[in-house]
Amino acid sequence: MTLTATHRPDAPILLHGFKLSGHSHRAELFLELLGLPYTFRQVDLAGGEHKTPAFLAKNVFGQVPVIEDGDTVVADSTAILVYLAQRYAPGRWIPSDPAGQAEVQRWLSAASGMVAFGPAAARLVTLFRGSFNPDEVIARAHRLLTVMESELAARDWLVGHAPTVADVAVYSYVAHAPEGNVSLDDYPHVRAWLARIEALPGFVAMPQSKVGLRA
């Protein structure tokens, strides 16, 4: 299985991110899976750097991650995945058929919805004292995991027979769900899927935090 990019950028891509952010990790993980040269620049979120005029000029929403690929600036983690896939590995990480593309989009929407307001939000409560209702976001995380468990019982990847940007988009916060007090014990197919992603050439992990069930 060839996972690397079909061509390379003229200069290393600059990734503005935050190491404990699953959104940033999506971009970093995909850059590594593609084997693309890049530089990671840690954004000082605690100091409010992401709300400064200089950063807002890169992303008007004031969020990480952002990449700079030459003169091209791309903000938003799932947008970055789509850009990198289409720019450097066309036809490999996003299916070429309309039905496959729609399935990928379904999971990218889930990454921005159920994932963000389920396991990601639960982790924000324990790691950054987020203001979400813990019971509500944990319940939402388990609803997501139940759907994933059912779908992954029939196949190895979220879409089709090979990893896509859908798997990259969903991975980080599901892998770190225990940090938000979301147990993965009842989801063997989800755990097997996580292991398959972690076995891909170039995989890089997000730092673990000793909070929640990992405390």
194 and 106 assigned to the same domain: yes
Residue 5 domain flag: no
84 and 108 assigned to the same domain: no
CA distance 9 to 195: 30
pLDDT value of residue 19: 96
108 and 153 assigned to the same domain: yes
Angle at 96 between CA 73 and CA 30, to 5 degrees: 40
Residue 194 domain flag: yes
Residue 142 domain flag: yes
Q: Which domain holds residue 163?
A: 98-214
CA distance 70 to 15: 12
- Residue carrying structure tokens 């590594």: 32
Residue 1 domain flag: no
122 and 43 assigned to the same domain: no
Q: pLDDT tens digit string along 15-37?
A: 999 999 999 999 999 999 999 99
- Answer with the one of 62, 88, 114 that is the final residue of a domain: 88
Provide the CATH number for the domain around residue 123.
Answer: 1.20.1050.10
Residue 21 domain flag: yes
Provide the CATH number for the domain around residue 21.
Answer: 3.40.30.10
Q: Pinpoint the alpha helices (H) of the chain.
A: 22-34, 53-56, 77-88, 98-110, 119-128, 134-152, 165-175, 188-198
* Domain count along the chain: 2
The CA–CA distances, whole Å, from 123 to 17, 54, 114 equal: 18, 29, 13
Residue 93 domain flag: no
62 and 104 assigned to the same domain: no
Q: pLDDT tens digit string along 157-187?
A: 999 999 999 999 999 999 999 999 999 999 9
pLDDT value of residue 193: 98
Residue 6 domain flag: no
168 and 112 assigned to the same domain: yes
The phi, psi pair for 68, rounded to 5°, reads: -120, 115
Question: Would you say how long the chain is, in residues?
Answer: 215
Residue 3 domain flag: no
CA distance 66 to 26: 11
104 and 207 assigned to the same domain: yes
Q: What is the pLDDT along the chain (215 residues), one digit of tens a residue?
A: 557 777 889 899 999 999 999 999 999 999 999 999 999 999 999 999 999 999 999 999 999 999 999 999 999 999 999 999 999 999 999 999 999 999 999 999 999 999 999 999 999 999 998 899 999 999 999 999 999 999 999 999 999 999 999 999 999 999 999 999 999 999 999 999 999 999 999 999 999 999 999 99
